[in-house]
Structure 1
Amino acid sequence: MMSKHHPSQSTSTIGKAGAPPQFGALLMTDSGAQRSGPPYLFHGLTETEIAHVLGSGKRRVLYRGAQLFSQGSPQDGIYLIESGRIKVFYTAPSGREITLAYWHSGNFVGGPEVFKQGLHVWSGVAAVNSTVLHLPGDVLRRMVMTIPALAIGIIEGLSFKGQCYSALAQMLGTRSPTERLAQLLLHLMNLYGVEERDGTLIAASFTHADLAHMTGVTRQSVTISLKKFTELGILAAHGSNLVIKNADMLGEIRDGKLAKTTASDEA
C-alpha cells in the first residue's frame, strides 16, 4: 500500500543528489520512454542553484483529496512537487472526467503556461498527502534568465508533457476501452508490482472510478471488464488491490489479439 503521512511532516528530497524517491509519473501511453518518466527538473543545477530555486517559492502542504488548482481558475506559474502524488484531470461540460496523469515528486504541474498569468485548463488534486512549492511566473522568468539549466529543465518537462498528452489523445482514438484498461493494468503492475506466489500484486489502491477516469470509459465498463479478466484467470482481487496472474494474456488483450473474447467496449 502507498504510505500515509502527515503533510506537515513531509521533507523535500528534490534538492538532494539524484532523483527523488518515486520520481516519475503514471501516464496512459504506449511509449516505453514516456513510461520511464520525465527528465528530472533539477538535472544539471548546482546545489547553490537548487537552494535558490527552493528559497524563491512558497511551500504548501495538502492532505489527500485537497484541491491544488481548478480548471478555469486564475493560473500563475507552476507547482513543483516535493513529495506525494498529484492527479491532473480535465472535466468536460457534461461532467465527464478524464485523468491526464499522476505526477510524482520532482515533477511540476500547473502549466501549460509557466511564465504568464492566465486560466488553468485542467485541475489538480492531491492523490495522497503531498507537499508542493509554488513558483510564480514572474519569479520563474527571472530565475531562468540566470540559471540556464533550469530553463532547459522546464523546456524538457513541457516537451515531455506535450508528448504524453498527444499519446493519450492517440490512444483514446485508436484503442478500444478494453485494450486501454489492459494497458493501464500492465503499467500499474510495472510501477507498483510486488511479486507474490500467485502473481504480481499491484501495491497501490485504485477504485473502479479511478481506472475509468484514466482510460476514458465509464465505471460500469471497467467493472464488466475486470469481471471478465477475473473469469479468464488474468487477475484476482486482494482486498482493495488487484493481483495480476497472467501478464502475458493481458498483453495480448492490450495488443488487440483477444478483443472478441474480452470485448465490453462501452466508451
Structure 2
Amino acid sequence: MEAVELFEHPLFHGADQEALRRLLATLRPQLVRRGGRLSTLDAESVLVLVLRGRLRTYQLTPDGRELLLELIEAGGFDDILAARAQEGHFTDAEQDSTVVLVPLSLLEKVLLSEPRVALNLLRLMHERLHSREDHLEAMALHDPSRRLARQLLALGQTLGEEVDGWVVLNPRLTHQMLADMLGIRRETVTLHLHQLTAMGA
C-alpha cells in the first residue's frame, strides 16, 4: 500500500510515520464501487478509513424505508461492528471509494504505540458526534420546514463550501437523500423546500 496516501488521512496527522509503518504494513486499500456494501468478513469489528470517495450509512426502518444517518467524505471514518448488518445498519459506497479496513485489534496496538493517533481519533469522534447530534436535533423538530432548515444548516457546516457569498453543498443532495436523512417523504421535502425558498431562505 502507498503509505503516503494512508498517512494523509486525518487520523495520522502529526504522528510518527516511521513508527507506524511497520504496524500498518499489512493494510491494503480496497476499492468499493458505487452501491457496493462494506462488511467485515470475519468476527472482528473494523474501523473504516475513507481515503477517496464517499460512503453513506443508513438504517432500515421497520417498514423498509432507508433512514440516512451520515455521508462520510474522504478523510472520514466509519466503524463496522461484526454482524451489525443483522441489526439493520448498513454502509454503502455513495460513489467509487477507496477505503482501508483497520481491525480493532490492530487499532489498539497503534493507539498504544502512537498517542498522537489517539488524540486525532478523539477529535474525529467528537466532530462526528457533534454532527450526529445536529442531525438528531433536526429530526426531533415537528415542523418539517424547521427540520429541513436545521438539517441544511448542519450539512452546510460539514459539507458546505463558500462560493460568492453562498454556501454550496458538495456533493449536491437530492430531495430523496434529504428525505432519507429526516425520515420523511420526498414530496414533503420538495414542498417545504419551496416554502423555505419563498421565505427567502
Match of 1:133 among 81, 100, 125: 100
Q: 2:167, 2:59 → 1: CA distance?
A: 31
| 1:90 maps to which of 47, 52, 59 | 59
The gaps in structure 1 that reach 5 residues or longer are 1-10, 21-39, 235-248, 251-267
- Structure having the higher helix fraction is 2
SS of the equivalent of 2:176 reads helix
- Give the match for residue 80 of structure 1: 49
Which runs of structure 2 are paired with 1:85-164 in the superposition (5 Å)? 85-111=54-80, 117=82, 119-120=84-85, 122-164=89-131
- Given that 2:51 and 2:99 are in contact with CA atoms closer than 8 Å, whether structure 1 keeps it comes out as yes
Question: What displacement does 1:202 show?
Answer: 4.8
| Count of aligned pairs | 195
Runs of 4+ in 1 over 6 A off after TM superposition: none
Give the TM-score of the pair, scaled to structure 1: 0.61
Instruction: Check 1:52–1:91 CA distance in 2 against 1; reply closer, same or farther (3 A cut).
Output: farther
Change (3 A) 1:163 1:185: closer
Helix, strand or coil at the partner of 2:62? coil
For residues 206 and 96 of structure 1, the distance between their equivalents in structure 2, rounded to whole angstroms, comes to 18
The equivalent of 1:181 in structure 2 is: 148
Distance 2:130 2:155 in 1: 20
Structure 2 unaligned spans of 5+: none
**Residues 50 and 130 (structure 1 numbering): CA distance in 2 closer, same or farther, change over 3 Å?**
farther
Aligned to 1:62: 32
Q: Partners in 2 of 1:184 and 1:168 — Cα distance?
A: 6
TM-score normalised to structure 2 length: 0.77
Aligned Cα root-mean-square deviation (Å): 3.2
Q: Is the 8 A contact 1:89 1:99 kept in 2?
A: yes
1:133 Cα deviation after fit:
0.3
Identity %: 23
Partner of 2:29, secondary structure, is strand
- Partner of 2:164, secondary structure, is strand
SS at match of 1:44: coil
